[in-house]
Amino acid sequence: MKINIKQVLSEAVNLCIHHYKRVLIVSLILFVYSIFSIVLNEAFNIKNTNSFIYVGLAAVYILLVITIVFLPIFHMAALKLINSFIDNASISLKEAYIQTRGKYGSYIGCGLLMGLIYIPVTILIYALKAPIPTILQYIYYAFSMSIFYLVMPMIALEPKTSHYIKKSVSLLKGNYLTALVLTLIISTFPNIIKQAGRYLIQDKFLLQAFNTIFTALNSCLLVLSYVVNVIVYRQLNKKALTQWRE
């Protein structure tokens, strides 16, 4: 089964509009996390006195804890919530979290395996001082992580198993380019525009305004990517189940 990119994006946008209140809540949480991350990152970069070294280390520690503990739990709950949109069910984010409890280990385990593909090459890009390294990082992320496009919705929506990656790669067969194009449109290209803006805008006030606006926009696009992710997973999984029954 070939996924229709235009149809998926149209369905995702319509779902976001129809369920805009809950979409805004998820986007707002992601926005607050992003702003908090920026603040902590700035704290880490303070190097004026020895006392600020401890502030920087504390900022890194807090950010790591939030990223490792909060984001996986929130991501799974958001995917479960979005899946309820499609089923016309009315569950809260808290209920979505309860329904995905016990899957944190699977999420982290799969995330680490995926990181083994992404992180070493990213380090190499910066180590070799490649031109436009950040943009190359974004592009490589899209190409490498699209292989595992269905892993996270599969963890959030299916019963626990030990074969998430194998099954997701098999399910995506024939649709890798579709997953890549969707990732490029929703995630990669906006991030490239963000980097270009940061490079071109010289005025400090305008740059701060641009970063804030783009962080808000990126939070909305991230939710849209979640919705698209769930729609693609459901379409391919439904087709696979139909073929299996036949």
The percentage of residues in the chain with a pLDDT greater than 90, rounded to a whole number, is 51
Q: What is the DSSP letter of 161?
A: -
| Euclidean distance between CA atoms 97 and 78, whole angstroms | 8
pLDDT one-digit tens code per residue, 27-41:
999 998 888 877 766
Report the 10 Å Cβ neighbour count for 194: 18
Pick the range with the lowest mean pLDDT from 44-53, 95-104, 140-149, 211-220. Answer: 44-53
User: How far, in Å, CA of 110 to CA of 66, rounded?
Assistant: 18
Tell me the residue range of the domain where 30 lies: 5-245
**pLDDT tens across 105-156, in order?**
999 999 999 989 998 998 998 888 878 888 899 999 999 999 999 999 999 9
The whole-angstrom separation of Cα 148 and Cα 167 is 10
Tokens representing 29?
A: 């949480």
pLDDT tops 70 at residue 52: no
Quote the number of domains for the chain: 1
